[in-house]
Amino acid sequence: MGQTITEKIFSEHVGKEVHAGEIVRVNIDMIIGNDITTPISIRAFEESGAEKLARPDNFSIVMDHYIPAKDIASANQAKISREFAYKHDLKYFFDEKDMGIEHALLPEKGLVIPGDVIIGADSHTCTHGALGAFSTGMGSTDLAFGMITGGNWFKVPETIKVELTGMPGEHIYGKDIILELIRILGVDGALYKALEFTGDAIQHLGMDDRFSMCNMAIEAGAKSGIIAVDNITEAYLIEREEVNGGLRAKPKIHYSDEDANYCQVITIDVENLSPVIAYPFLPSNGKPVEQAVEDDLKIDQVMIGSCTNGRIEDLRIAAEIMKDKRVAKHTRMIVTPATQKILMQAQHEGLIDILIEAGAVVSNPTCGACLGGYMGILGDGERCVATTNRNFVGRMGARTSEIYLANSAVAAASAIAGKIVDPRDI
């Protein structure tokens, strides 16, 4: 029987052929913690009596949710992770001196490798599947078990094959593709499944698009998202190797067999796709941008950033649309580059000047606004167009506020208009 790429990754780690539904114990290639969830893992680690990490060079802590700290509580929370990192001389500890949102920073640092098994105490850990790895979110105590033992238990997931056909049209990005898929599946249509993105359209999608797609696999309930390595992936890895002086490990590349068993196959013609807007209060509540234009939705805030769409391409798209224009009088705009390196690249290209001159506020890399923590809280009844990944009730502030998920082009164009518009009409 043929195997999917996910089954092959687990088989390589177990040392024998395994298939969906089997329970396996494997070593973890990269464990990812952050300033919110890691303190719980640290407490469990220390209460177990463990004195050292099983695989210290396979463990990373990224301070990204409330950094710089927003209050005393978040400062004390961060202090726990810092002290642990210093005590264990953690090689991969990223704080304010070299900061970024974890799911953008680790690939940038060359720490995510094709064929890896990766876990993180953050639901959007599935982002890293864009590099041909199995990557999934787990609880903080699951993370602690990995810290103590170096491994963890998994049920090998079934796979839904997502065939993407055609060439994306103007202002159609990975964000639109994943929002369309979530619209089709619903928020629980892929529970404990792997979403494997395939098809001829993949060749037209850069790494930033692929990261966005895999990032939001969890919004359909999926265990992971994954895309096989191709020439675009290889070019990205070569660049990471050159910039960082090497990759964390040698890639182990797998491809699904032609006779692999899929539990479902979904085909999306991206050529005929319009920009997709996810209305409140579910990521699955997707509608074409034409509907949003017809609904004449005035907006109070635009947020471009997050682990979904805070990469350099997002800033380039926004700056191209906003050059020599101005954010609408009644609208605020926040831009959050996902890493310091992205911020510096945007400065080098002149993108930051364009965005600030247009009226945007550019912040340090942080998850703050996306999770309703700080740096962009919404007030009662306010509407926001966000390139983030969730729009649940109260996600970014007041429970009566509304979040409309969209790509960076829609967000930028809407900031100028003060209402949701089609960027293809700008």
What would the mean pLDDT of 2-24 be, rounded to a whole number? 97
Residue 273 has pLDDT above 90, yes or no: yes
d(CA 53, CA 231): 36
Q: What is the pLDDT of residue 1?
A: 80
Residue 205: what pLDDT?
97
The DSSP bridge partners found for residue 298 are 419
Q: Which amino acid is at 42?
A: I
Q: Which of 133, 195, 198, 196 is nearest to 164 (CA)?
A: 198
In this prediction, residue 162 carries a pLDDT of 98
> What is the Cα 368 distance to its own chain's centre?
14
Total residues found in the chain within this entry: 426
Q: Are 112 and 133 in contact (CB under 8 A)?
A: yes
Over the stretch 305-320, which tens digit does the pLDDT of each residue have?
Answer: 999 999 999 999 999 9
pLDDT at 14: 96
pLDDT digits (tens, 9 = 90+) for 165-174: 999 999 999 9
- Residue 11 CA to residue 5 CA, distance in Å, equals 10
pTM of this structure: 0.94
The answer to whether 277 touches 173, Cβ cutoff 8 Å, is: no
Per-chain mean pLDDT for the chain: 96
Q: Encoding tokens for residue 402?
A: 């509304």
Q: Which domains does the chain have, with CATH numbers?
A: 5-268 (3.30.499.10), 278-425 (3.30.499.10)
Residue 145's pLDDT is what?
Answer: 97
Q: Identify the pLDDT of residue 276.
A: 98
3-state secondary structure of 384: strand
Residue-wise pLDDT tens digits, 322-344: 999 999 999 999 999 999 999 99
pLDDT at residue 255 in the model: 97
Rounded Cα gap, residues 411 and 419, in angstroms: 10
Q: Averaged over 107-136, what is the pLDDT? A: 97
pLDDT at residue 346 tops 90: yes
CA distance 318 to 339: 17
pLDDT tens profile 367-411: 999 999 999 999 999 999 999 999 999 999 999 999 999 999 999
Angle CA(378)–CA(382)–CA(387) in degrees, nearest 5? 65
What is the bridge-based pairing of β-strands 151-155 and 23-27? antiparallel
Q: pLDDT band for position 129 (50/70/90)?
A: very high
Q: What is the pLDDT of residues 169-227, one digit of tens each?
A: 999 999 999 999 999 999 999 999 999 999 999 999 999 999 999 999 999 999 999 99
Confidence bin at 426 (pLDDT 50/70/90): confident
39 and 77 Cβ atoms separated by less than 8 Å: yes
- Looking at residue 324, what is its pLDDT? 96
Model confidence pLDDT, tens digit, residues 231-272: 999 999 999 999 999 999 999 999 999 999 999 999 999 999
CA distance 182 to 190: 9
Q: Where are the alpha helices (DSSP H) in 162-205?
A: 174-185
What does 13-71 look like in DSSP terms, one character per residue? HHTS---TT-EEEEE-SEEEEETTTHHHHHHHHHHTT--S-SSGGGEEEE--SS-S-SS
pLDDT tier at 33 (50, 70, 90 boundaries)?
very high
- 6 pLDDT tier (thresholds 50, 70, 90): very high
